[in-house]
Amino acid sequence: MFGPIGEIIETQRLRLEPLAVHHADEMAEVLDDPRLHDYIGGEPLTRDELRARYERLVAGPAPFHQEGWLNWVIFRRRDEQPVGYVQATVTPSPTALKASIAWVTGMPYQGFGFATEAAGAMVGWLRAHGVTEITASIHPENASSAAVARKLGLHPTPDVDDGETVWRVPSS
Ligand SMILES: CC(C)(COP(=O)(O)OP(=O)(O)OC[C@H]1O[C@@H](n2cnc3c(N)ncnc32)[C@H](O)[C@@H]1OP(=O)(O)O)[C@@H](O)C(=O)NCCC(=O)NCCS
């Protein structure tokens, strides 16, 4: 399994805190909008459901999965408002350490560059910890998520994962 656990990451406007179960109390409100699920499936969870989900995420995958689950809650530093989350699933392969990444920003906090700023910082952290291949799976109609991926330097590939386009950083 991927060794390092997440650390606090700070950017100009944001602080990324490794996910803890207590974050469910604040995040239930931030994520309480069905529009967030237009392209990612599912529906908003109640506080208790989110707490149960965070318990599973914090516990991590079973060791035989050989994966690491990294999740960060994004806080706006100026007022400590939680605005969303970023996540990475890290998988070792014989030749590389790979991460599949994703981002979500609550509706009132979208359009300020927060997903790009947070995910960019996460990618920097992943690279500093040996991850060499970064991918994201994005619904073909999810234009704002595609914009985030492009700003991070990812490009769409012909690969499709469960109906979503696989984006990756082209190898140089
Ligand atoms: C995708 C998401 C995380 C973006 O969050 P955000 O904090 O608004 O992202 P940013 O502000 O960093 O960047 C958004 C970009 O999308 C662009 N954008 C927004 N709506 C758009 C649209 N309809 N068409 C094209 N681009 C659009 C913005 O202009 C911005 O790009 P720019 O800075 O070049 O102008 C947010 O919309 C979200 O949480 N969606 C629901 C969950 C989801 O689908 N997550 C992605 C899973 S792969």
Q: What is the mean predicted confidence (pLDDT) over 18-28? A: 97
Whole-Å CA distances, 125 to 65, 87, 95, 103, 119? 22, 12, 20, 15, 10
Give tens-digit pLDDT for 88-127. Answer: 999 988 888 999 999 999 999 999 999 999 999 999 999 9
User: How many angstroms is it from 148 CA to the middle of ligand 1?
Assistant: 6
Q: What is the pLDDT of residues 53-76, one digit of tens each?
A: 999 999 999 888 889 999 999 999
- Residue identified by tokens 């991918």 is 135
Provide, rounded to the nearest whole percent, the portion of the chain with pLDDT above 90. Answer: 88
Residues 154 and 148: their CA atoms lie apart, in Å, by 9
145 versus 92: the higher-pLDDT residue is 145
Sequence-ordered list of residues with C-beta below 8 angstroms from that of 123, at least 6 positions apart, any chain: 101, 134, 152
Which helix (H) or strand (E) segment is 76 a member of?
Answer: strand 68-76
Q: Looking up tokens 């803890």, which residue turns up?
A: 20
> Considering the entire predicted model, what is its pTM?
0.96
DSSP state of 94: S
pLDDT averaged over the chain? 95
The identity of residue 36, as a single letter, is L
Helical axes 114-128 vs 143-151, angle rounded to 10°: 50
| pLDDT at residue 6, rounded to an integer | 81
Given a cut of 80, whether residue 4 has pLDDT beyond it is: no
Nearest atom in ligand 1 to the alpha carbon of residue 137 is: 48
Fold of 9-168: Aminopeptidase (3.40.630)
Q: Cα(38) to centroid of ligand 1, in Å?
A: 13
Task: In whole angstroms, give the CA distance from residue 138 to residue 122.
Answer: 18
Task: Spell out the domain ranges in the chain.
Answer: 9-168
pLDDT of residue 168: 97
* pLDDT at residue 2 tops 80: no
How far is ligand 1, taken at its centre, from the CA of residue 94, in Å? Answer: 34
What does DSSP assign to residue 42? S
Q: Atom 34 of ligand 1 has which residue's CA nearest to it? A: 147
Residue the block writes with tokens 């208790």: 48
- Which among 14, 144, 154 is the best mutation to test ligand 1's pocket, defined by most ligand atoms within 8 Å of the CB? 144
Give the distance (Å) from ligand 1 centre to CA of residue 151: 10
Report pLDDT for 64: 82
Inter-residue contact 40 to 105 (CB < 8 Å): no
**Distance of alpha carbon 3 from the chain centroid:** 18
